[in-house]
Amino acid sequence: MTNDAQGTPPAQDRPGYELPLLLFAGFRSIIDQLHAELARQGHPEGRPAHGFAMQAIGRDGATASELGRRLGVSKQAAGKTADRLEVLGYAVRADDPADARRKVIRLTPRGLDVLAKSAAVFDELRAQWAAALGPERLRDLEDDLRVMVPPSGFRLDVAGWFGP
């Protein structure tokens, strides 16, 4: 036995702190490239948070409360994001004739365009990764990540990083 005692962790060939940094840098790199490309394609205003919100709104629209639940934030925060999307021309709010309380947030054609372009850019970026890494290694990477991440949805409350 070389170093499998139960005291200090055995033979960490690599420091553990690098893993989250690499994951974040990878995420950050993709997002930055996406938005650089979107800016080039006529959408210079979008921010990552808007992209996630629009994805969550989807083609069918959503109310602020629903959006908040999907994004893992409060309905007030979701409402503010919707305000911003409205100002930027990516979404509109409409009354729901069936329920006078609800105001459905729907994407405008411009918003749907961002969504479509984003999907295309994401695919293109993934293809670049596949070309650099090899398709099967990228699949492995994705599979491994899928194993390790909790199945719960993706929370986007990056403001206070949790905690009050």
Partner DNA sequence: ACTTTTTCGACAACCACGTTGTCTATCCTA
Partner DNA sequence: TAGGATAGACAACGTGGTTGTCGAAAAAGT
Q: Which residues bind a copy of itself (CB under 8 A)?
A: 9, 12-32, 34-35, 47-49, 55, 118-127, 129, 132-133, 137-142, 144-150, 154-155, 158-163
137 binds, among DNA, a copy of itself, none (CB under 5 to 8 A by kind): a copy of itself
58 contacts: CB under 8 Å, gap ≥ 6: 107
Q: Which residues bind DNA (CB under 7 A)?
A: 47, 49-50, 63-66, 68, 71, 73-77, 79-81, 84, 93, 98-104, 156-161, 164
CB of 5 to DNA, least distance (A): 38
- Nearer Cβ to a copy of itself, position 67 or 121? 121
Distance CA 57, CA 82 (A): 10
129 binds, among a copy of itself, DNA, none (CB under 5 to 8 A by kind): a copy of itself
CB of 61 to a copy of itself, least distance (A): 20
- Nearer Cβ to a copy of itself, position 100 or 159? 159
CB of 112 to a copy of itself, least distance (A): 15
4 contacts: CB under 8 Å, gap ≥ 6: 10
Query: Do the Cβ atoms of 34 and 122 come closer than 8 Å?
Result: yes
